[in-house]
């Protein structure tokens, strides 16, 4: 009798250990991929590497694929960090998101300067854009399954739907967006191409993004999906606004990704670089708001797993977060340990609606193709 009790206890402990060892990617394998933004510090930190391998099956380079990073001066390429991140993905069979190709920030001034001084012409701008897009996309075509082609081109407020960037000023309108997607499709016909932006669930900006993408797709611009960054706070946007945005975007695209997820304690949100990195005090009330926002958000995601490909956390842990450790933004704390919120997100009981969405999600060919690409890159990888 003692033998059976001992054996039963050992089996129970083993089962519990297996559940505890399960990562986010395993918990959500029937719904969508779970990703994380990484930098070179993460790849040299053993604890971070273990978190990445256990929890994530998609990676985005936080900064190392941005235009300024890979081409600081025209024709001067710096692929060292980008190559290292790509090789980490190849070695571990983890698919890689490309971020980003055209953005108003973190791009060399040379992109917009004319050969003879002054502002570049449209022809000069588009030639440089095409060279940049083609060079970068073709270098990583074996491991990158999708790209944020144009990032943050829509305005936050006002009548003009576009940000008054140098891209827009030289192009005289939205032609630079159309050209970027055309060049990207030519460079890698198999990659999924995304328009990516913050505050994409805020009704005013949501409608601007929707109208732009709808019109462009009708005109033949090859936009495959919309990236909703997801730099939220515990107050807003509401879960209702997030769900409405998913439903609205799914009318015009087959692919929606949450590309840069974090949830702050203060009242700021979005991707603006001028921000307050100081969070509000983590009171029991604020902790409950944080928990409820994360768990409620993932409930929304599970209900719409048929249109959501991947959800990417922006950084590995609070200490590494671009919004500051005191904003308490991620599921891993300042010591890189999982918060109790992590387990609330990971260990869920699906509703019937969520199960139905998961069944549809399993049939998405794009997800299978991305996983197969990563597996092939791992097979072909040579240190």
Residue 353 lies in a domain: yes
Residue 215 lies in a domain: yes
Asked whether the predicted pLDDT for residue 20 surpasses 70, the reply is: no
Residue 251 lies in a domain: yes
Given 152, 182, 243, 354, which residue is catalytic?
A: 152
**What is the mean predicted confidence (pLDDT) over 262-276?**
85
Asked whether the predicted pLDDT for residue 15 surpasses 50, the reply is: no
* pLDDT bucket at 21, cuts 50 / 70 / 90: very low
Give the pair of three-digit tokens for residue 66: 């941005």
Give the pair of three-digit tokens for residue 80: 């060292």
Residue 2 lies in a domain: no
**What is the mean predicted confidence (pLDDT) over 318-345?**
96
Pairing of strands 308-313, 33-38: parallel
| Domain that includes residue 126, residue range | 26-378
**What is the mean predicted confidence (pLDDT) over 68-87?**
98
Give the whole-angstrom CA distance, residue 330 versus residue 49. Answer: 16
**What is the mean predicted confidence (pLDDT) over 259-266?**
96
Give the whole-angstrom CA distance, residue 18 versus residue 80. Answer: 38
Residue 167 lies in a domain: yes
Annotated catalytic residue 152: yes
Are 361 and 31 spatial neighbours (Cβ–Cβ below 8 Å)?
yes
Helix segments in the chain, DSSP class H: 2-21, 24-27, 40-43, 46-55, 67-70, 80-92, 122-139, 166-171, 175-187, 203-218, 239-249, 284-303, 340-346, 352-361, 365-380
Q: What is the mean pLDDT of the chain?
A: 92
Give the pair of three-digit tokens for residue 184: 């990207």
Give the whole-angstrom CA distance, residue 65 versus residue 382. Answer: 22
Quick one: pLDDT at residue 1?
43
pLDDT digits over 233-262, tens only?
999 999 999 999 999 999 999 999 999 999
Give the pair of three-digit tokens for residue 157: 């407020």
Given 62, 182, 243, 260, which residue is catalytic?
A: 260
Asked whether the predicted pLDDT for residue 17 surpasses 80, the reply is: no
pLDDT digits over 284-303, tens only?
999 999 999 999 999 999 99
Domain with residue 52: its CATH number is 3.20.20.80
Are 336 and 72 spatial neighbours (Cβ–Cβ below 8 Å)?
no
Asked whether the predicted pLDDT for residue 2 surpasses 50, the reply is: no
**What is the mean predicted confidence (pLDDT) over 307-327?**
96
Are 132 and 167 spatial neighbours (Cβ–Cβ below 8 Å)?
no
Residue 357 lies in a domain: yes
* pLDDT bucket at 383, cuts 50 / 70 / 90: low
pLDDT digits over 84-106, tens only?
999 999 999 999 999 999 999 99
Cα distances from 161 to residues 67, 192, 201, 206, 259, in angstroms, run 24, 24, 15, 11, 22
pLDDT digits over 112-124, tens only?
999 888 999 999 9
What's the total number of domains in the chain?
A: 1
Residue 184 lies in a domain: yes
Residue 16 lies in a domain: no
Q: ∠ CA 319-329-268 to the nearest 5 degrees?
A: 120
Annotated catalytic residue 281: no
Strand partners, 226: 195, 256
- Share of residues in the chain with pLDDT > 90 (%): 87
Quick one: pLDDT at residue 230?
96
* pLDDT bucket at 58, cuts 50 / 70 / 90: very high
- Going 198 to 204 to 209 to 210, the CA torsion angle's sign is positive
**What is the mean predicted confidence (pLDDT) over 362-376?**
87
pLDDT digits over 136-162, tens only?
999 999 999 999 999 999 999 999 999
Asked whether the predicted pLDDT for residue 281 surpasses 90, the reply is: no
Strand partners, 97: 60, 146
Asked whether the predicted pLDDT for residue 12 surpasses 70, the reply is: no
Asked whether the predicted pLDDT for residue 18 surpasses 80, the reply is: no
Number of CB atoms found within 10 A of residue 108's CB: 17
Quick one: pLDDT at residue 235?
96
């Amino acid at each position: 009798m003692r033998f059976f009790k001992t054996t039963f206890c050992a089996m129970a402990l083993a089962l519990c250990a297996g559940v505890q060892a399960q990562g986010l990617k395993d918990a959500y394998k029937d719904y969508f991929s779970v990703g994380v933004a990484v930098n070179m510090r993460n790849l040299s930190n053993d604890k971070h590497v273990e978190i990445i391998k256990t929890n994530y099956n998609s990676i985005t380079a936080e900064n190392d694929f941005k235009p300024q990073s890979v081409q600081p001066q025209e024709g001067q390429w710096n692929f060292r960090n980008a190559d290292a991140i790509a090789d980490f993905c190849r070695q571990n069979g983890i698919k890689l998101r490309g971020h980003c190709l055209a953005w108003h920030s973190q791009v060399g001034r040379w992109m917009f300067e004319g050969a003879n001084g002054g502002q570049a012409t449209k022809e000069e701008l588009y030639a440089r854009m095409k060279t940049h897009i083609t060079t970068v996309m073709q270098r990583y075509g074996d491991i990158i399954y999708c790209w944020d082609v144009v990032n943050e081109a829509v305005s936050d407020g006002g009548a003009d739907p576009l940000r008054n960037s140098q891209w827009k000023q030289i192009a005289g309108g939205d032609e630079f967006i159309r050209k970027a997607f055309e060049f990207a499709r030519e460079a890698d016909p198999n990659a999924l191409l995304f328009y990516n932006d913050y505050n994409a669930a805020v009704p005013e900006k949501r409608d601007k993004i929707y109208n732009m993408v709808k019109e462009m797709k009708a005109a033949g611009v090859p936009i495959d999906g919309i990236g909703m960054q997801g730099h939220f706070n515990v107050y807003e946007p509401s879960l209702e606004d997030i769900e409405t945005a998913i439903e609205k975007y799914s009318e015009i695209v087959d692919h929606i990704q949450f590309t840069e997820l974090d949830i702050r304690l203060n009242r700021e949100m979005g991707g603006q670089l001028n921000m307050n990195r100081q969070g509000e005090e983590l009171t029991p009330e604020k902790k409950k708001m944080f928990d409820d926002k994360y768990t409620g958000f993932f409930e929304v995601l599970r209900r719409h797993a048929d249109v959501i490909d991947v959800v990417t956390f922006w950084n590995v842990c609070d200490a590494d977060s671009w919004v500051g450790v005191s904003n308490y933004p991620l599921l891993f704390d300042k010591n890189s340990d999982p918060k109790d919120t992590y387990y609330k997100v990971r260990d869920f009981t699906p509703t019937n609606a969520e199960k139905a969405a998961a069944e549809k999600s399993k049939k998405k060919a794009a997800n299978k193709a991305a996983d197969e690409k990563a597996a092939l890159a791992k097979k072909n990888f040579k240190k």
